[in-house]
A and B are shown apart, each in its own frame.
Chain A
Amino acid sequence: MMEMDWYLGLSAVLFTIGVIGVLTRKNAIVIFMCAELMLNSVNLTLVSFSAQLGDVHGQILVFFALCVAAAEAAVGLAIIIAIYRNNLTVDVTKINLLRW
C-alpha cells in the first residue's frame, strides 16, 4: 500500500497534463479528450480519498461523475460532428465567426 499522497500527486500530475492539453491544442476532439483526462484524474482523487477515509460516498460520486462524462462525451462528439459538417474543420482557431 502506497502512501496516500502518491496517489493524489499522480492525479494532480494527470490533471495538469489535461489542463495543458486543453489550453494548447487546437483540434476540438483532442481538447475534448484532454477534458476527459481531467475528469479521470479527479475520479482518481475521489477514489483515493474514499479509500483513505474508508467511506463509500466517494465511490458513489465517482459513479455519477462517470455517468456525466459519458453523457458529455455523447453530446460533445455530436456537436463536433455538427461543427465539422458546417465548417469542414474541427480546428478551433479557424472557427471564429463570433468575435467581439
Chain B
Amino acid sequence: MESANELLTILPLIIIGAAGLFVMMLDAFTGSARLAYLATILFSAAALAVAVSDLFGPMGESFHGLITYGGTSSFGMVLVMTGTLFSVILSRDYLEKTGMHIAEVYSMILFAAFGMLLLVSSNNLVTLFLGIETMSISLYVLAGLVKNHKKSVEAALKYFLLGAFATGFLLYGIALLYGASGSTFLVDIAATEDKGMIYWAGVGLLLVGFFFKISAVPFHMWTPDVYQGAPTTITAFMATASKAAAFVAFILVLSRALPDARADWSDVIWLFALLTMVVGNILALVQDNVKRMLAYSSIAHAGYIMIGLAAGTDAAYSAVLFYLFAYTLMNIGAFGIVAYYEWHKGYDFTEVSNYSGLGFKQPIMGVLMSVFLFSMVGIPPFAGFIGKYRVFAAAVDEGLISLVIVGVLASAASVYYYLRVLVHLFMKESENGIVLSRPGTLYTASLLILAALTIFFGINPGVLTDLLGSFWTVQY
C-alpha cells in the first residue's frame, strides 16, 4: 500500500492531475476562460515550485518501482513545468487576440503536462507507455484546437495518424523487450543476460518510437506541418515541454534499461544524429515560412542533443539536460514573439519578409527576439552557447570527433537562417504601414524573464551544471 510519503514523491504529478480535473469542472460550471487561466497558472506555478525543491531532495524509487523521483526526473519535471507555465501565460493573450480563447485549452494543456510528468518519472515501460500516450493524445487535440481553420485540423490529423503509427512501433519494441527480459521494469531489462535477437529487435523498435517523438530525421515529417498548423503558443508548448519530456525519458531508458548495450545503440544514435543535424539545417536554410523555419530549427536542435545521447556518458547526459533547459527557454521565447506579431489581425506573418522593419516599431520585442535567436545560434553570452559547448565537449571526450565537426559546421550554417529574421526585423523597410499594439504587461514580463534566464545561465552556468553533475554521481 502506498504511504503518504510515496505520494509526496510524485507531488507535481498529483498537483497537475488534480489541476486538470479542477479546471475542467471550473469550465463546465462557470464557462469562464479567465478563471480557468488563473487556476492553471496557480497550479502550474505550484507544481514548478515543488519540482524545483525536489531537485535538491533525495533520489529513489516509489510505487513498487514504477516511479523514479529526484535527480533527472525532478529536472525533467522542472523542464516540463517551465514549458507549461510560460506557454500558458503566453497562450492567453494570443488566443484572446485571435479569438480562440476557450477554457478547454487549459485543461488539455494540463492533461498533456500530466502525461509528460509521468513520462519523465517513469521507471517502468508501462508508465512510460501511458505517459507518452497521455501526452500525445492531448497534443493531438491541442494541435487541432481551432477546428474551423483548415490548417489547424490538418495538423491534428497528420499528427494523429503518424503518432498512432509510431505508437505501434513503440509498443512492439516494449513487447519484445518484455519478452526478452521477462519484466517491464527498466532495471530488470538492464539485467537481461541472454541478449538474443528478440532483445535487439525490441531495442530497435523502441528507438524508432522514440525517434518519432523527438522528431529525429527520417521520422520528422510530422514536425513542420504540425508546428505550422497548430496555434503558435501551442506550438511553443509542443516544441519545448513535450520534446524535453521525450528526451528525458529517452535518457532514462538509455541509461537505466540499456547501459550495457551502449556500444551498440551509440552507433545507431550517431547515425541518426548526423542525419538529423544535416537534414534539419538544410531544410531550415531554404524555408521562407518563419514557423516552419523554427520547426526545422527544432529538428536541428534535436540533432545536437542526440550527439550528447550518442556519447552516452554521465557528463554527456548532464550536458544534454542543460541543453534541454536552454532550448526550452529560448524556444518558448521565440515562438512567443512570433505569436505576438501574429495576433495583429489582417496582416500576414507567415513569410520572413513580412517581418520587415518591425524591429524598431516595438523595440522591446525586437531586442528580445534577437536574444532568443542569438541563443539558438549558440553565441557566447547566452545559455544556448553553453549547452552546445558542453554537449560537444562531452562528445569529444568520447571520441566522437567527426560528429562534433559536423555539428559545429551545421550550427555555423544555422547562423544564416536565424540572422535572416533579424536582418528583416531591423534592416529592411516596412512594407505595410502596420501599427503594432502594445503587448500585455504579463506577456512582456514573462518574455523578459525568459530572456533574463537565457542570459543568466549563459553567463553563470555553474549554478545549474554543478547540480546536474551531481545527479549522476549516485548510482541507481
Q: Does B171 contact A (CB under 8 A)?
A: yes
Query: For the complex, what is the distance from the CA of A92 to the CA of B156, rounded to whole Å?
Result: 12
Task: Please determine whether A82 and B178 come into contact, CB atoms closer than 8 angstroms.
Answer: no
CB distance from B69 to the nearest CB of A (A): 21
Task: Please determine whether B171 and A35 come into contact, CB atoms closer than 8 angstroms.
Answer: no
What per-residue 1/0 map shows which CB atoms of B116-152 lie under 8 Å from chain A?
0000000001100110010001001100100110110
Chain B, interface SS category: helix
Task: Please determine whether B174 and A72 come into contact, CB atoms closer than 8 angstroms.
Answer: no
CB distance from B44 to the nearest CB of A (A): 23
Q: Residue among A45, A80, A92, A98 with the most chain B CB within 10 A?
A: A98
Task: Please determine whether B225 and A98 come into contact, CB atoms closer than 8 angstroms.
Answer: yes
Task: Please determine whether A98 and B161 come into contact, CB atoms closer than 8 angstroms.
Answer: no
Where the two chains meet, the residues of A that have a C-beta atom closer than 8 Å to any C-beta of B are: 15, 18-19, 22, 28, 31-32, 35-36, 38-39, 42, 45-46, 48-49, 52-53, 55, 57-58, 60-61, 64-65, 68, 71-72, 75-76, 79-80, 82-83, 85-87, 92, 95-98, 100
Tally B residues with Cβ within 8 Å of A: 42
Task: Please determine whether A15 and B184 come into contact, CB atoms closer than 8 angstroms.
Answer: no
CB distance from A56 to the nearest CB of B (A): 11
Contact A61/B157 with A15-B168, A42-B171, A82-B147 known, Cβ cut-off 8 Å: no
CB-CB under 8 A from A68, the residues of chain B are: 129-130, 133, 137, 167
Task: Please determine whether B140 and A42 come into contact, CB atoms closer than 8 angstroms.
Answer: no
Which residue of A22, A28, A65 contacts B171 across the interface (Cβ within 8 Å)? A65
Where the two chains meet, the residues of B that have a C-beta atom closer than 8 Å to any C-beta of A are: 125-126, 129-130, 133, 137, 140-141, 144, 147-148, 150-151, 153-158, 160-161, 164-165, 167-168, 171-172, 174-176, 178-179, 182-184, 224-225, 228-229, 287, 289, 292
Query: For the complex, what is the distance from the CA of A79 to the CA of B225, rounded to whole Å?
Result: 16
Query: For the complex, what is the distance from the CA of A58 to the CA of B157, rounded to whole Å?
Result: 31
* 6 closest A-B pairs by CB: A38-B168, A49-B179, A35-B164, A98-B225, A68-B133, A45-B175
CB distance from A72 to the nearest CB of B (A): 6
Which residue of B160, B183, B287 contacts A79 across the interface (Cβ within 8 Å)? B160
CB distance from B170 to the nearest CB of A (A): 9
CB-CB under 8 A from A97, the residues of chain B are: 150-151, 154, 229
CB-CB under 8 A from B176, the residues of chain A are: 45
Task: Please determine whether A42 and B168 come into contact, CB atoms closer than 8 angstroms.
Answer: yes
